[in-house]
């Protein structure tokens, strides 16, 4: 069963896949119960017992518990167990930033209002069905035509309800659409097929020169992050649910988004918005995100991490990105030679390795500090890295040029895939040399030493 949601059983999948077998069963059971409910209603209406057509009502009442239980199971399958953030890193109802909270402040009250309205409507509906049911004595109900009061009422009431929803929604949209507060760090976010590039705009303080990295965005906790989101390929959508809502990444257009983590609960008065999750010195906090707009074969593997750090830790990280340490280990140094001689350096840039200055693939500066491989939920380890270098497709469908071409999938020769994707190195005839195992080990040692 595990194979259903884990294509790569050998790889360690981190807390990203929240689809546990229990949840899966709950979803199925919920649907089965609902299907029974609907079937029972259909059955009753087919039989059309005359007179009276009580059968339908009776069946409705009888199968209602099944439907109710089905709904509970189904929603339980989607939702979280007691602590949302712990079991569901992608929860949308437990925000930790001002942006996330602003959305929650609209979403929360509206959910309550519509629940109450929904319950009132249901009660009225059931009451009408019961009170005005066919009593079986052949009598006709009173015939009426037009009722001004009711018509005005059911026009005005929805208008008022919609205004109640509209005002806070529009206010929040405008507030979040404004420019970011001055105290910010600006990062250009570029959606690629299928990974994320982050380019830090120098601010003369924390970031002295442009820093480029991929799939793992570091942010200082006390500043607003001001993201300039775009795409170099198709439309993607940047979404880290605990930090805030989605923003489309559209080619040729820049969408903005800004947020800052809420203050620490120990530092504010009770009742003020706050979070207990702020990073401490040396203890960053990781938030997960993913692409939320279907963008092709490996859309589901287009994930990223946001690493929240104290300002000082962030400063250290930035410094290290600009001046990484040189590898000293002999194997790693040999790996650098391989990297530069077999063509990796034509697509990947590495600060500190002047020969590596390509820009088609992710910037690999300090790659050894990254947790994940190639924007997926795979924890980086040596074996995985070897698999990736040999055949990226095994870990990420469509990620390699060669397999794409030979499989003849749509887009295989659209120019974009062919130049941009990562080549699979062990396939003959693709212009890249085959490796000896020793060279592969050296390459992996080099990549892992970059920190």
Binding site for ligand HEC (CB under 6 A): 194-195, 214-215, 339, 342-344, 346-348, 360-362, 373-375, 389, 396, 399, 420-423, 425, 443, 447
State yes or no: residue 236 binds Cu ion (CB under 5 A).
yes
Q: Which does 14 bind (CB under 5 to 8 A by kind): ligand HEC, Cu ion, none?
A: none
Closest distance of CB 397 from Cu ion, Å:
14
What's the burial of 216, exposed, middle or buried (CB within 10 Å: 0-12/13-18/19+)?
Answer: buried
List 187, 221, 229, 295, residue binding Cu ion (CB under 5 A): 295
* Direct distance between the N- and C-terminal alpha carbons of the chain, in angstroms, rounded to an integer: 38
Q: For residue 422, what are its two tokens?
A: 């990562």
Q: Which does 375 bind (CB under 5 to 8 A by kind): ligand HEC, Cu ion, none?
A: ligand HEC
Q: Which does 403 bind (CB under 5 to 8 A by kind): ligand HEC, Cu ion, none?
A: none
Q: Encode burial over 395-423: b for 16+ CB neighbours within 10 A, e otherwise.
A: bbbbbbbbbbbeeeeeebeeeebeeebbb
Closest distance of CB 409 from Cu ion, Å:
17
Q: Name 159's Cβ contacts closer than 8 Å, sequence gap at least 6.
A: none
Stretch that binds Cu ion, among 147-155, 178-186, 232-240, 354-362 (CB under 5 A): 232-240
CA distance 165 to 167: 6
Q: For residue 448, what are its two tokens?
A: 């892992």
In the complex with ligand HEC, the residue whose CB is nearer, 23 or 372, is: 372
CA distance 301 to 194: 7
Closest distance of CB 240 from Cu ion, Å:
14
CA distance 350 to 450: 9
Q: For residue 427, what are its two tokens?
A: 């396939």
Q: Which does 295 bind (CB under 5 to 8 A by kind): ligand HEC, Cu ion, none?
A: Cu ion
List 291, 344, 347, 364, residue binding Cu ion (CB under 5 A): 291
In the complex with Cu ion, the residue whose CB is nearer, 345 or 417, is: 417
In the complex with Cu ion, the residue whose CB is nearer, 232 or 426, is: 232
In the complex with ligand HEC, the residue whose CB is nearer, 221 or 364, is: 364
Closest distance of CB 417 from ligand HEC, Å:
10
In the complex with ligand HEC, the residue whose CB is nearer, 210 or 382, is: 382
Closest distance of CB 299 from Cu ion, Å:
5
State yes or no: residue 399 binds Cu ion (CB under 5 A).
no
Q: Which does 448 bind (CB under 5 to 8 A by kind): Cu ion, ligand HEC, none?
A: none
In the complex with ligand HEC, the residue whose CB is nearer, 185 or 445, is: 445
In the complex with ligand HEC, the residue whose CB is nearer, 202 or 433, is: 433
CA distance 120 to 214: 51
Residue 168: how many other CB atoms lie within 10 Å? 15
CA distance 121 to 115: 10
Q: For residue 330, what are its two tokens?
A: 């002999």
What's the burial of 84, exposed, middle or buried (CB within 10 Å: 0-12/13-18/19+)?
Answer: middle
In the complex with ligand HEC, the residue whose CB is nearer, 332 or 399, is: 399
CA distance 101 to 99: 5
Listed residue (443, 187, 236, 420) closest to 334, CA to CA: 443
Q: Which does 360 bind (CB under 5 to 8 A by kind): Cu ion, ligand HEC, none?
A: ligand HEC
Closest distance of CB 290 from ligand HEC, Å:
13
Closest distance of CB 10 from ligand HEC, Å:
18
Q: Which does 291 bind (CB under 5 to 8 A by kind): Cu ion, ligand HEC, none?
A: Cu ion
In the complex with ligand HEC, the residue whose CB is nearer, 214 or 332, is: 214
Closest distance of CB 278 from ligand HEC, Å:
27
Closest distance of CB 114 from ligand HEC, Å:
41
In the complex with ligand HEC, the residue whose CB is nearer, 318 or 364, is: 364
Q: Which does 389 bind (CB under 5 to 8 A by kind): ligand HEC, Cu ion, none?
A: ligand HEC
What's the burial of 318, exposed, middle or buried (CB within 10 Å: 0-12/13-18/19+)?
Answer: buried
Q: Name 442's Cβ contacts closer than 8 Å, sequence gap at least 6.
A: 331, 332, 334, 335, 337, 338
Q: Is the dihedral of CA 55, 58, 60, 66 positive or negative?
A: negative
Closest distance of CB 239 from ligand HEC, Å:
18
Q: Is the dihedral of CA 169, 172, 261, 90 positive or negative?
A: positive
In the complex, the residues that contact Cu ion under the rule CB under 5 A are 236, 291, 295, 302
């Amino acid at each position: 069963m595990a194979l259903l949601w884990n294509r790569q059983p050998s790889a360690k999948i981190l807390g990203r896949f929240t689809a546990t077998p229990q949840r899966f069963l709950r979803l199925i059971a919920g649907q089965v119960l609902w299907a029974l409910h609907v079937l029972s209603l259909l059955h009753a209406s087919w039989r059309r017992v005359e007179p009276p057509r009580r059968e339908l009502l009776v069946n409705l009442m009888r199968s209602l518990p099944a439907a109710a239980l089905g709904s509970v199971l189904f929603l339980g399958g989607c939702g979280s167990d007691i602590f949302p953030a712990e079991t569901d890193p992608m929860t949308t109802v437990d925000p930790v930033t001002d942006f996330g909270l602003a959305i929650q402040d609209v979403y929360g009250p509206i959910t309550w209002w519509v629940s109450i309205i929904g319950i009132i409507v249901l009660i009225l509906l059931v009451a009408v069905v019961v009170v005005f049911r066919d009593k079986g004595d052949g009598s006709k109900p009173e015939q009426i035509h037009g009722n001004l009061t009711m018509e005005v009422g059911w026009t005005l009431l929805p208008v008022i309800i919609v205004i109640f929803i509209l005002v806070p929604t529009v206010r929040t949209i405008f507030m979040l659409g404004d420019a970011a507060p001055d105290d910010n760090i600006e990062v250009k976010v570029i959606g690629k097929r299928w990974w994320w590039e982050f380019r830090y705009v120098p601010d003369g303080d924390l970031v002295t020169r442009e820093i480029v990295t991929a799939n793992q965005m570091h942010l200082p906790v006390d500043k607003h992050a001001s993201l300039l989101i775009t795409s170099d390929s198709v439309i993607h959508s940047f979404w880290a649910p605990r930090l805030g809502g989605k923003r489309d990444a559209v080619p040729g257009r820049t969408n903005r988004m800004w947020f800052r983590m809420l203050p620490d609960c120990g530092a504010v008065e009770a009742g003020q918005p706050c979070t207990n999750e702020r990073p401490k010195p040396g203890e960053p906090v990781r938030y997960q995100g993913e692409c939320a707009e279907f963008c092709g074969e490996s859309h589901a593997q287009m994930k990223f991490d946001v690493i929240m750090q104290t300002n000082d830790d962030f400063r250290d990280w930035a410094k290290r990105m600009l001046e990484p340490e040189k590898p000293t280990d002999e194997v790693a140094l040999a790996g650098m030679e391989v990297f530069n001689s077999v063509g990796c350096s034509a697509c990947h840039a590495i600060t500190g390795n002047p020969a590596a200055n390509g820009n088609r693939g992710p910037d690999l500066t300090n790659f050894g500090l990254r947790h994940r491989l190639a924007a997926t939920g795979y924890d980086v380890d040596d074996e995985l890295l070897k698999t990736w270098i040999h055949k990226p497709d095994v870990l990420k469908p469509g990620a390699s040029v060669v397999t794409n071409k030979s499989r003849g999938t749509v887009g295989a020769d659209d120019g974009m895939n062919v130049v941009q994707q990562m080549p699979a190195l062990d396939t003959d005839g693709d212009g890249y040399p085959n490796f000896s195992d020793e060279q592969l080990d050296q390459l992996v040692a080099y990549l892992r030493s970059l920190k």
